Amino acid sequence: MPSSHEPGGPEPLPLTPDRLERLADFCNEAGMLRHTPRSGYAFLGSGKESVAEHSYRTTVLGYLLARMAGLEPSRVVMLCLFHDLHEARTGDFNYVNHRYDTCRARAALEDATEGTGLGPDILDAWDELEAAETRAARLAHDADQLDLICNLQAELSRGNEFAREWLDSALKRLRTPEGRELAEAVLRTDPNHWWYGRVDKTWWVRHGLPDEG
């Protein structure tokens, strides 16, 4: 049977019954992020999302920032995709939590990937992101913050003025010119513009029907 290995790609994972079982565990663990809330919104007083929802848009934003920077996006996407995987085990540690306790994120990732064959890839990505020494890591960091900035801008538009203070802090955490440029665009754009502001206003009155007059 011919090999399915593509030139330049990683070697296929050697599969055994035990490894397949651990990979099934990994699939279920990643699914737990759908049920893991981002805990900071309780302090903000409005808004909510799961870690899975946050991780998805962070990954999209990472791809976008990499393209803005002229960087091949796969590494940034990889860093974003798994940046909060550990929270399936630890829960989401918000900024208040971190004042009093610590999160053993890497230990959680070591346990999550044990026996899967995925450990080197995911742990290397975690270490790179934490060190923040590469351009890809700094863009991934900004993608994480930009997801929050988008949410805070939406909450501000709904009348939560406290979100303005959070926005100020999040903007100061950005590390790249691409991140700052995109954040400026987010702040000057109505969060509803993508669906409401790009159609003729009569659509919302007539639903596309011809004018009776």
pLDDT tens, position by position, 21-63: 999 999 999 999 999 999 999 999 999 999 999 999 999 999 9
Q: What pLDDT is attached to residue 64?
A: 98
pLDDT at residue 209, as a whole number: 76
Report pLDDT for 4. Answer: 60
More confident residue, 41 or 205: 41
Q: Residue 193, CB half-sphere, CA atoms under 13 Å: how many?
A: 10
E-assigned strand segments in 90-195: none
Greater confidence, 168 or 206? 168
* Number of neighbours of residue 136 by Cβ within 10 angstroms: 26
pLDDT for the residue numbered 212: 66
11-15, 119-123, 160-164: the lowest-pLDDT one: 11-15
Mean pLDDT in the chain? 94
Residue 1 confidence class, pLDDT cut points 50, 70, 90: very low
pLDDT at 109: 98
**Does the pLDDT of residue 208 top 90, yes or no?**
no
Contact of 128 with 139, CB cutoff 8 Å: no
187-196's contacts with Cβ under 8 Å and 24+ in sequence apart are 187/149, 187/153, 190/157, 191/150, 191/153, 191/154, 191/157, 192/157
Cα 199 to chain center, whole Å?
A: 29
Question: Does the pLDDT at position 147 exceed 50?
Answer: yes
Beta carbons of 99 and 22 less than 8 angstroms apart: no
Look at residue 213 and tell me whether its pLDDT is greater than 60: no
In this prediction, residue 198 carries a pLDDT of 85
- Alpha-helical (H) ranges within 45-117 are 51-69, 74-81, 87-90, 105-113
- Note the pLDDT of residue 202: 85
pLDDT at 2 over 90: no
Say what the pLDDT of residue 5 is.
60
Chain segment 85-124, per-residue pLDDT in tens: 999 999 999 999 999 999 999 999 999 999 999 999 999 9
